[in-house]
């Protein structure tokens, strides 16, 4: 029974997984859609307001906005910076575990 269910699930999800540039059920999600990981979002940021809220895709942080450095959890309280910017945050062990090391996006060339 389990292999048949698994096969059915793969068949149903295959179109979503194969369409890399089109919106899918699991990947290429638009801003505001529910997510579990940042890799699912077109923007590259799966954001939650607090520990009890649902995570949704959000735009990456622009220059001078509050940001989080890249995290292994891939769900952020503050989104990482847009491409070309760096998040200047004071990283700590506790902050890395609790996902609370925040900084400000800056252009590293400035």
Domain residue limits, the chain: 25-106
Q: Which residue has the higher pLDDT, 99 or 100?
A: 100
The whole-number pLDDT of residue 4 equals: 58
CB 67 within 8 A of CB 47: no
pTM of the model: 0.71
Q: What integer pLDDT is reported at residue 51 of this predicted model?
A: 86
Q: What superfamily in CATH does domain 25-106 come from?
A: Lipase, subunit A (2.10.80.10)
Averaged over 15-33, what is the pLDDT?
Answer: 71
Residue range 39-66, pLDDT digits in tens: 999 999 999 999 899 999 999 999 999 9
pLDDT at 101: 85
3-state secondary structure of 46: strand
Please tell me the distance from the alpha carbon of residue 35 to that of residue 77, in angstroms, as a whole number: 13
Q: For the chain, how are helix, strand and coil distributed in percent, rounded to 5? A: 25, 20, 60
Mean pLDDT lowest among 2-6, 30-34, 35-39: 2-6
Query: Could you give the CA distance from residue 56 to residue 72 in angstroms, rounded to a whole number?
Result: 17
């Amino acid at each position: 029974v389990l292999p048949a269910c698994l096969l059915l699930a793969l068949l149903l999800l295959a179109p979503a997984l194969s369409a890399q540039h089109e919106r899918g059920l699991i990947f290429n999600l638009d801003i505001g859609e529910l997510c579990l990981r940042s890799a699912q979002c077109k923007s590259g940021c799966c954001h939650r307001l607090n520990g009890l809220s649902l995570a949704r895709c959000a735009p990456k942080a622009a220059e001078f906005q509050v940001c989080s450095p890249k995290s292994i959890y891939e769900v952020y309280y503050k989104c990482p910076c847009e491409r070309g910017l760096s998040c200047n945050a004071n990283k700590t062990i506790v902050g890395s575990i609790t996902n609370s090391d925040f900084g400000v996006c800056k252009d590293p060339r400035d």
